[in-house]
């Protein structure tokens, strides 16, 4: 039985003050929940505040990105060592917004994962198709290419996969539970054919997840959690998703 895993990706939201208010309100709402792994990934500038407030809690601290070099003249980037110094234990890599707006390729994603894992950071790898690709019946082809490129020469140790159909991110549209599970099942079968440990790796769904649909999504056999965007910006909303996942 894979333990449910619910992660908050705050993207470019939340000041330090807002981070503090959120965490102080959120932690009492999920106190004592041990059947779900919970992660919050704030902005880089809020990592210190979040690290202090989450210490000794049941919530993991994550980061939204990392660079593929250890240090150097890379203005604006952040290294695995920096994340570790902020007590991060996990990092999100390959989010569709990074791919779309910052031209990240599978090769770049692969290099980032390798650097993160070399430094013992766990990784949430994001993959998913656009609306045009889905309508052209290319979903599995796209997932195959992203998995092949992003996981090249890598084991599944310390990895989580997040399936995020781009057409459902921030749009209010959500893949049906059957659509989500179909994609998750394809991902797991691909992993079985190409890697060891496919049955134990967790696959999250991302795309307009909210308290109202988390129970249905989590009822599917290959949906192991969620990577949550907008609905993770309010404590009661994110707590509702966590408690919904705890019902699996």
What domains lie within the chain, and their CATH numbers? 5-245 (3.20.20.70)
Contact 214, 195 (CB under 8 A): no
For the chain, what is the radius of gyration of the CA atoms?
Answer: 17
pLDDT in the model for residue 207:
86
Long-range contacts of the stretch 128-136 (C-beta < 8 A, 24+): 128/96, 128/163, 128/164, 128/165, 128/166, 128/169, 128/206, 128/207, 129/165, 129/166, 129/167, 130/166, 130/167, 131/166, 131/167, 134/165, 134/167
pLDDT at residue 173, rounded to an integer: 72
Q: Are 57 and 39 in contact (CB under 8 A)?
A: no
pLDDT tens-digit map of 190-224: 999 999 999 999 999 998 899 999 999 999 999 99
CA distance 193 to 27: 40
34: pLDDT confidence band, cut at 50, 70 and 90? Answer: very high
Q: Would you state the pLDDT for residue 31?
A: 95
pTM of the predicted protein model: 0.96
pLDDT tens, position by position, 148-179: 999 999 999 999 999 999 877 777 777 788 99
The three-state secondary structure class of 242 is helix
Q: Residue 231 above 90 pLDDT?
A: yes
Active site residues: 95, 164
Please enumerate in sequence order all residues whose Cβ is within 8 A of that of 30, keeping only pairs 6 or more positions apart, or say none.
38, 58, 59, 239, 242, 243
| Residues 101-128: tens digit of each pLDDT | 999 999 999 999 999 999 999 999 999 9
Q: Are 40 and 72 in contact (CB under 8 A)?
A: no
């Amino acid at each position: 039985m894979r333990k449910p895993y619910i992660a908050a990706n705050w993207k470019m939201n939340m000041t330090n003050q807002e981070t503090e208010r959120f965490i102080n309100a959120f932690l009492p709402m999920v106190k004592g929940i041990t059947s779900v792994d919970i992660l919050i990934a704030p902005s880089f500038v809020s990592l210190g505040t979040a690290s202090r407030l989450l210490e000794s809690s049941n919530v993991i601290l994550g980061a939204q990105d990392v660079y593929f070099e250890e240090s150097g003249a890379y203005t604006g980037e952040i290294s695995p060592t920096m994340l570790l110094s902020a007590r991060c234990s996990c990092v999100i890599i390959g989010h569709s917004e990074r791919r779309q707006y910052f031209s990240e390729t599978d090769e770049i994603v692969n290099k980032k994962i390798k650097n993160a894992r070399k430094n013992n950071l766990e990784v949430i790898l994001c993959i998913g198709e656009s609306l045009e690709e889905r309508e052209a019946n290319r979903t599995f082809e796209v997932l195959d290419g992203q998995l092949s490129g992003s996981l090249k020469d890598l084991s599944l140790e310390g990895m989580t996969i997040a399936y995020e159909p781009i057409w459902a991110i921030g749009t209010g549209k959500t893949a049906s539970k059957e659509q989500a599970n179909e994609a998750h099942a394809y991902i797991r079968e691909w992993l079985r054919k190409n890697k060891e440990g496919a049955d134990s790796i967790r696959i999250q769904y991302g795309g307009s997840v909210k308290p109202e649909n988390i129970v249905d999504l989590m009822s599917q056999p290959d949906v192991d959690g969620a990577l949550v965007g907008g609905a993770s910006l309010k404590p009661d909303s994110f707590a509702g998703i966590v408690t919904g996942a705890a019902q699996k």
